[in-house]
Structure 1
Amino acid sequence: MEIDKAIRECDDGRLKTKYNNAIYVIRRALALYSVQEVALSFNGGKDSTVLLHLLRAGCFLHEAEENNSGGDAADGGKTFPIRTIYFESQSAFPEINSFTYEAAATYNIQMDIIRLDFKSGLEALLKANPIRAIFLGVRIGDPTAVGQEQFSPSSPGWPPFMRVNPILDWSYRFGYTLYATHTHAI
């Protein structure tokens, strides 16, 4: 996978460490839960987009390890295996919706579009699907990150699922560096 190769070859040791830690969290989640039991909450924002690419690399590496292929082959344009959910909002900028749909087409993402508020949408999603964990692009400093760890159960009063936060310890700088420096690999 190109992004993994680009990160391994880059000179930024701190970015490599952040990347490796995020990939570890992703691979750990994929070891704990089946692909059918996880989802990605994608909103088209920068953090969410960074997470999408990390998750693509993590899935590829996880699959390569399971198939003993060493992780050196290209992903071949396969459909992204993780259920991806998008909470579409009438108040979102049209550019956000356009970018989200373009990303889905570009990266072969089968996206579930939810047109309910977040809590009601999650309730419906979890009732209809065997999802037990959701990857989120939450970073320390985000209002929703308070008290969270890389694996954190949902809050009381919310539908039960495990929040998986691979970029929780990333700063804006690391997300921007990955996104800006390695877009050719993404």
Structure 2
Amino acid sequence: MPSVAATTTATSIAAQIADNPVKIAHKCLHLPGRTMSSDVNGCGHCPVVPIISDPDRRRIQVLQDTAFSFFTETLHRYGVEELIFCFNGGKDCTVLLDLLMSYLRQECISSQEIPMLYIKSGDSFPEIDDFVASCIRNYRVRLVEYDGSLKEALTHMQEDMPKIKAVFVGSRNTDPYCQNLAPMQPTDSDWPPMMRLNPLLEWTYHDVWHYIHINSVPYCSLYDRGYTSIGNRSNTVPNPHLRRTTAADSCGCSGVCNSIPATTSQPSTTTGSYRPAWELADPKQERAGRLPRK
């Protein structure tokens, strides 16, 4: 079993909060519904943010209100000292983080009261590590960090933090093995006994992106480069359904726009690059960039 230890001070992620620059993709998301951007690294022609319809905006408001009601019900059942939330830097957890922090501000509860559980991986994307560090700093949350699997982390967390009784997670019912989850559901019998709190179960893939765009929520820059479901470096590639294959599919810029990785190997045009994650038409293809386990 890997060495597992909780920490809130000098860790691989926490060290980045002070030492590394923030690398988050939000410079073109200041205005909800904005469709063009000429900001830094923007070509001025690329459709950066989709136009979100009024019905979609109303749906997001209903989903947000429902999540806030869920948080209220949770706090009727548990004290804040009994709660923690999982965070992995992905889009779903990013929405969960922003919703939860918004709710805590509304209720005049410190963001430090409900800590963030982050599970370290030696195979994580550096962009994810940078983004997690920026979230810890920007939202001013308290970090609890472990090595190993989620199951191992929860086991050791219970030993280190016995008051924790429930954990918020960003699962949606279209995720693998999540189609039958309830909003509040105990862990399985072979897991550490804990209540799983699932406020995003009814959210769709596009709901997640609509919320991010409407609320100008910072997110990991990998999503600008065609990644739609992010695991580790060894099992995740850009979604092939977002690949730009023709000149007509190109944004037409000759520089580096927001949806293209700024690397020396990047071609001088956008042909062969990838469109951003929110342009995925079929949400059933969300995990098409996940490689099968060997």
* TM band (smaller chain): 0.7 to 0.9
Residue 41 of structure 1 corresponds to 86
- CA gap of 1:169–1:184, structure 2 versus 1, over 3 A, is closer
1:35-69 superposed Cα distances (whole Å, 9 cap, x missing partner): 110000011100000000110122223347xxxxx
- CA gap of 1:185–1:122, structure 2 versus 1, over 3 A, is closer
Which protein is richer in strand relative to its size?
A: 1
Residue 115 of structure 2 corresponds to 83
Deviation at 1:22, TM superposition (A): 1.0
TM-score under structure 2 length normalisation: 0.53
Deviation at 1:79, TM superposition (A): 4.1
- CA gap of 1:98–1:185, structure 2 versus 1, over 3 A, is closer
Contact 1:80 1:107 in 2 (8 A): no
The structure, 1 or 2, with the larger RCO (C-alpha pairs under 8 Å, 6+ apart) is: 1
Which protein is richer in helix relative to its size?
A: 1
1:19 alignment partner AA: Q
1:90-145 superposed Cα distances (whole Å, 9 cap, x missing partner): 11111111100111011111111111221111001012211111000000110141
Choose which of 11, 17, 22 in structure 1 pairs with 2:62.
17
- Pairing 1:1-186 to 2, within 5 Å after superposition: 11=54, 12-63=57-108, 79-129=111-161, 130-183=163-216
Contact 1:27 1:62 in 2 (8 A): no
- CA gap of 1:165–1:28, structure 2 versus 1, over 3 A, is same
- Inter-partner Cα distance in structure 2 for 1:30 and 1:87: 25
Q: Which runs of 5+ in 2 are unaligned?
A: 1-31, 33-52, 220-294
Q: Which has the larger radius of gyration?
A: 2
- Inter-partner Cα distance in structure 1 for 2:174 and 2:155: 27
Residue 70 of structure 1 corresponds to none
Tell me the number of residue pairs that the alignment of Structure 1 and Structure 2 aligns: 165
TM-score under structure 1 length normalisation: 0.82
Q: Which runs of 5+ in 1 are unaligned?
A: 1-5, 65-77
